[in-house]
C-alpha cells in the first residue's frame, strides 16, 4: 500500500520511507502496530539521528532488516542493542563514525554493511557476533579512484578470526596476527585484504590454502613499492575473481594457483604491478576469462592480442598505462568481446590496430585520451555505441549535434559527452 505521504507499508510488517515531512513520520507511527514491524528501509536523505525514536520505536524489537543507507546520520543510539531479532543492518554512505557497544547484543546479526562511511574501528566486543556472515566496510579517500590507496579499510579487531560463519570480509587491513589467524575463517567466499607487506605473504598464502569456499579474492599491497610475494600461492579450489594490487614477485603469474586453477578464473584485475613484459601474453593460459582489467600494470609500449587469444573475454578495461602507444588486435582474437574501455592512455594516438575485427563489440569507451586519438574516431563505425572524451566523463551536457560527414558515411546523430561525442 502506498500512502499519500510517500511511504509504503504492508500490514506494518515492512516499511519503506521516501522523503517526507516530520508530520508524515508521526502519522506513520500512529498508523502502524510497531510491534509487528519487521523491515525498515529509508530513502529519506533528510532523516537525522534524533529522528531514530520516531522511526524505530522501542516496541519494534522484532525488526529484522534495517537499511538507513545515504541518510546523514552520525550516531547510532544504544537502543539498537534491543533489536535482538536484527539480521541485516546497512549504514552505507552515512556519516557514522562510531558504533555503540550495545551492538554486541545483536546475536542474530548476519550482515553489517558500512561502505563509504567514516567508521574504521570496531570495539573488541564485536567478536561476540557469532552469526555474522557478511562484513563490508571501507572509507573513500580518493573519489577519482586514480590513486593507489583509493579507499581506507577497517582495522582487524581482536577476535575477528573467531567469527567462523563469515562468508564476506571486505575490506580488512593485514597485520601479522590477523594473517596468521585468517585460516580459521574457512567459510569465506569473498575476501579483500589490504596493507599487505612482503613479510605477510608466506603466512597469507598458507592461510588462503585453508579456504575451500573462497571464490573472490582481492589482495592489495601496503603501498606501490611493496612487493607481493605470491609465487607460492595455491588454493584448494578455483576462484571466480582475482584482484592483485601492487608489484608482483617474479613467478607470481606462474604460481601453483595459476597452473592448477588459472583456466577456471573468470575475472582478473592487475593494478599497479608495473610489469615490464606484456601482461596479456603472460595471462594467456587463463582461457575462460570473461573480464580483464589492467590499471598501471604495464610499463611497455605495445599491447598485442593474437589470434585465438581470450576467446571468452567479454569485457576489457585498460587504464593508466602511461607508455603504451600501440594496441594490436589480430583477426581471431577477442571474438566474444562486447565492452571495451580505454582510459588515460595519453601516448596512444591511434585507435587499436585491428579493432575492425571485433565483430561482437557493442560498446566502447575512450576516456581522457590525447586529442590526436579523437581524429581517428571515424574508424569505429562498426561499434553500436562509442563514448569518448579528452578530459574525462561528464553527463551534464545533452546537446545533440552532427559529427562531420567525413567521419561516417551514415552521418549519425551524436551527443556531446564530456568534450567528446556519444553515438545514440
Does residue 231 carry a pLDDT above 60?
Answer: yes
Q: What are the residue boundaries of the structural domains of the chain, listed by start?
A: 1-112, 133-265, 278-424
Q: With cut-offs at 50, 70 and 90, classify the pLDDT of residue 192.
A: very high
Q: What's the pLDDT band for 413 if we cut at 50, 70, 90?
A: very low
Which residues lie below 8 Å from residue 63, measured CB to CB, with a gap of 6+?
Answer: 37, 38, 39, 40, 56, 83, 85, 86
Mean pLDDT for 331-339 is 96
What is the structure's pLDDT at 407?
35
pLDDT at 64 over 60: yes
For the chain, counts of helices (H) and of strands (E): 7, 25
pLDDT tens digits, 106-134: 999 999 999 999 888 887 788 899 999 99
215: left (phi over 0), alpha (psi -120 to 50) or beta: alpha
| Predicted local confidence at residue 170, as pLDDT | 92
Q: If pLDDT is split at 50, 70 and 90, which confidence band does 30 have?
A: low
In this prediction, residue 285 carries a pLDDT of: 86
Element (H, E) at 371: helix 371-374
Instruction: Please give the pLDDT value at position 151.
Output: 83
Residue 34: pLDDT band with limits 50, 70, 90: low
How far apart CA 62 and CA 40 sit, in angstroms, is 11
Q: For residue 204, what pLDDT is reported?
A: 97
pLDDT value of residue 250: 87
- Tally of CB atoms within 10 A around 181: 17
pLDDT at residue 376, rounded to an integer = 81
pLDDT band, residue 394 (cuts 50/70/90): very low
Cell match 509487528: residue? 36
pLDDT at 348: 95
pLDDT bucket at 390, cuts 50 / 70 / 90: confident
Share the mean pLDDT of the chain.
Answer: 82
Q: What is the pLDDT of residue 9?
A: 44
Radius of gyration of the chain (CA): 25
Q: pLDDT at position 33, please?
A: 65
Q: How confident is the model at residue 421 (pLDDT cuts 50, 70, 90)?
A: very low
Q: Could you tell me the pLDDT band of residue 405, with boundaries at 50, 70 and 90?
A: very low
pLDDT for res 59:
65
Sequence-distant contacts of 16-25: CB under 8 A, at least 24 apart:
16/41, 16/42, 16/43, 17/41, 17/42, 17/43, 17/44, 17/47, 17/55, 18/43, 18/44, 19/43, 19/44, 19/45, 19/46, 20/44, 22/51, 22/54, 25/51, 25/54, 25/55
Percent of the chain with pLDDT over 90: 53
Whether residue 423 is predicted with pLDDT greater than 60 in this model: the reply is: no
| pLDDT for residue 194 is more than 50 | yes
Instruction: Name the residue with cell 551492538.
Output: 103
Rounded to an integer, the average pLDDT of 143-150 is 79
What DSSP state is assigned to residue 264? G
Least confident stretch, 24-28, 139-143, 280-284, 389-393: 24-28
Average pLDDT on 18-45 reads 62
Confidence of residue 145 (pLDDT cuts 50, 70, 90): confident
Residue 2 confidence (pLDDT): 42
pLDDT of residue 299: 93
Top pLDDT among 49 and 394 is at: 49
SS3 at position 413: strand
Please tell me whether the overall predicted TM-score, pTM, comes out greater than 0.85 for this model.
no
* pLDDT tens per residue across span 201-227: 999 999 999 999 999 999 999 999 999
Asked if residues 56 and 40 have their Cβ atoms less than 8 Å apart, the reply is yes
Q: What is the mean pLDDT of residues 315-326?
A: 96
Amino acid at each position: 500500500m502506498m500512502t499519500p505521504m510517500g511511504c509504503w507499508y504492508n500490514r506494518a510488517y515492512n516499511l519503506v520511507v521516501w522523503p517526507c515531512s516530520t508530520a508524515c513520520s508521526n502519522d506513520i507511527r500512529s498508523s502502524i502496530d510497531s510491534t509487528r514491524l519487521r523491515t525498515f528501509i529509508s530513502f529519506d536523505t533528510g532523516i537525522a539521528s534524533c529522528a531514530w525514536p520516531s522511526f524505530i520505536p522501542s516496541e519494534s524489537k522484532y525488526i529484522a532488516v534495517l537499511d538507513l543507507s545515504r541518510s546523514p546520520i552520525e550516531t547510532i543510539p544504544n537502543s539498537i542493542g534491543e533489536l535482538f531479532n536484527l539480521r541485516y543492518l546497512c549504514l552505507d554512505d552515512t556519516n557514522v563514525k562510531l558504533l555503540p557497544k550495545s551492538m554486541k547484543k545483536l546475536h542474530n546479526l548476519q550482515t553489517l554493511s558500512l561502505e563509504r562511511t567514516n567508521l574504521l574501528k570496531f570495539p573488541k566486543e564485536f567478536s561476540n557476533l557469532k552469526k555474522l556472515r557478511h562484513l563490508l566496510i571501507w572509507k573513500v579517500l580518493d573519489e577519482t579512484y586514480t590513486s593507489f590507496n583509493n579507499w581506507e579499510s577497517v582495522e582487524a579487531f581482536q577476535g575477528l578470526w573467531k567469527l567462523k560463519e563469515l562468508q564476506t570480509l571486505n575490506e580488512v587491513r593485514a597485520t601479522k596476527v590477523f594473517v596468521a589467524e585468517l585460516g580459521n575463517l574457512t567459510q569465506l567466499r569473498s575476501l579483500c585484504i589490504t596493507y599487505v607487506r612482503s613479510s605477510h605473504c608466506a603466512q597469507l598464502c598458507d592461510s588462503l590454502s585453508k579456504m575451500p569456499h573462497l571464490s573472490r579474492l582481492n589482495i592489495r599491497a601496503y603501498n606501490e613499492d611493496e612487493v607481493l610475494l605470491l609465487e607460492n600461492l595455491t588454493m584448494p579450489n578455483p576462484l571466480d575473481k582475482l584482484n592483485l594490487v601492487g608489484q608482483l614477485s617474479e613467478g607470481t603469474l606462474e604460481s601453483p594457483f595459476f597452473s592448477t586453477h588459472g583456466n577456471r578464473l573468470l575475472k582478473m584485475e592487475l593494478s599497479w604491478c608495473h610489469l615490464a613484459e606484456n601482461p596479456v601474453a603472460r595471462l594467456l593460459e587463463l582461457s575462460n576469462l570473461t573480464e580483464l582489467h589492467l590499471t598501471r600494470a604495464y610499463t611497455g609500449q605495445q599491447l598485442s592480442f593474437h589470434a585465438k587469444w581470450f576467446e571468452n573475454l567479454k569485457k576489457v578495461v585498460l587504464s593508466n598505462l602511461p607508455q603504451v602507444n600501440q594496441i594490436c588486435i589480430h583477426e581471431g582474437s577477442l571474438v566474444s568481446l562486447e565492452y571495451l574501455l580505454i582510459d588515460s592512455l595519453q601516448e596512444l594516438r591511434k585507435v587499436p590496430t585491428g579493432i575492425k575485427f571485433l565483430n561482437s563489440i557493442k560498446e566502447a569507451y575512450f576516456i581522457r585520451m590525447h586529442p590526436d586519438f579523437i581524429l581517428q574516431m571515424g574508424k569505429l563505425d562498426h561499434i553500436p555505441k562509442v563514448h569518448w572524451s579528452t578530459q574525462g566523463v561528464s553527463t551534464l551536457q545533452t546537446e545533440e549535434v552532427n559529427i562531420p560527414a567525413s567521419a561516417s558515411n551514415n552521418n549519425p546523430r551524436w551527443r556531446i559527452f564530456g568534450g567528446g561525442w556519444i553515438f545514440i
